[in-house]
Amino acid sequence: MESSFLQARGLLRYIGLFLSGVCHQLPDHSLRWAGVQLPLCCRCTGTYLGGLLVLLNLGWRGRLRAGRLPPLRVLLAVGALFAAWAVDGLNSYVQFLVGRPWLYAPLNSVRLLTGLGNGISLSLLVVPLFNLTFWSEPDSVRSASSLKELSGLLLQAVAITLVLLLRLDVLLYPALAAEAVSVLLMLSIVNAVIVIMLSRRMNRATSWTEALAPLTWGLAFALLEVGGLAWVRSWLGPRVPFPPF
């Protein structure tokens, strides 16, 4: 089914076409508010918003420079969140291939919730790795120190799921902005790590001012990556199917 963004106008059209570089955007896998399809499918929406949720929580707790991974019990729970995301995605893909679900009928609410769990799990791992690569003295605190903290993130994820499923018109443009910002932010962080490693400037930064240059480069590469993939997809789209996951 063709994405509705080719028929959309204004901001929705441009955001939707841009984010087509990171998401298949199948309408039946996406939320629609007042006839408007969100630029990311439910699974991608959850994944990127989950990453953003962790960053906001770490900022509120003063742990953006956390340099230690969660303890083993939290890592095991994080692994379970990733497994839930993978199983739900595989179940959806099996339905796409054979016309019937493997375990259960896929639901957008489940795609969204498992996506949030996946985004949370990835961000709890990526943030310490970034800090260990970037800072000369990363903070000796964990990105999540207990199952209680992880449970708090999951409760927030459930709240986000419920709010999105309400599809309130007033939240349409905030949701569009959150999706675009979360995609660029998460890709910028990953790209910044690559820039730091390639430039052999690991463990040198002492202030956020010194973080500006690699993060700016990370953002520039993120814009090029997403925009380039969107262009490639626009060229291949009529010829190559994009199976859902």
Give the model confidence (pLDDT) of 82-114 as tens digits.
Answer: 999 999 989 888 887 777 777 888 899 999 999
The pLDDT score that the predictor gives to residue 240 is 47
Distance, in Å, from the CA atom of 38 to the CA atom of 105, rounded to the nearest integer, reads: 22
Q: Which contacts of 166-170 are long-range, i.e. CB under 8 A and separated by 24 or more positions?
A: 167/31, 167/32, 167/33, 167/34, 168/33, 169/33, 169/34
Mean per-residue pLDDT of the chain: 87
Minimum mean pLDDT range among 66-75, 92-101, 146-155, 213-222: 92-101
Angle at 178 between CA 77 and CA 217, to 5 degrees: 90
- Half-sphere exposure for 236 (CA within 13 Å, toward CB): 12
Distance, in Å, from the CA atom of 33 to the CA atom of 68, rounded to the nearest integer, reads: 40
Residue type, 205: A
Which ranges constitute the DSSP H helices of 140-171? 147-166
Q: pLDDT (tens digit, 9 = 90+) per residue, 60-85? A: 999 999 999 999 999 999 999 999 99
pLDDT above 70: residue 10 = no
Average pLDDT over residues 158-174: 89
Spatial contact of 121 and 82, defined as CB atoms under 8 Å apart: yes
pTM value is: 0.88
Question: 50: how many CB neighbours lie within 10 A of its CB?
Answer: 31
Spatial contact of 150 and 80, defined as CB atoms under 8 Å apart: no
> Helices 72-98 & 108-134, crossing angle to 10 degrees?
140
Ranges assigned E (strand) in 103-221: 139-142
Q: Name 239's Cβ contacts closer than 8 Å, sequence gap at least 6.
A: none
Backbone angles phi, psi at 78, to 5 degrees: -60, -40
How far separated are the first and last CA of the chain, in Å rounded? 15
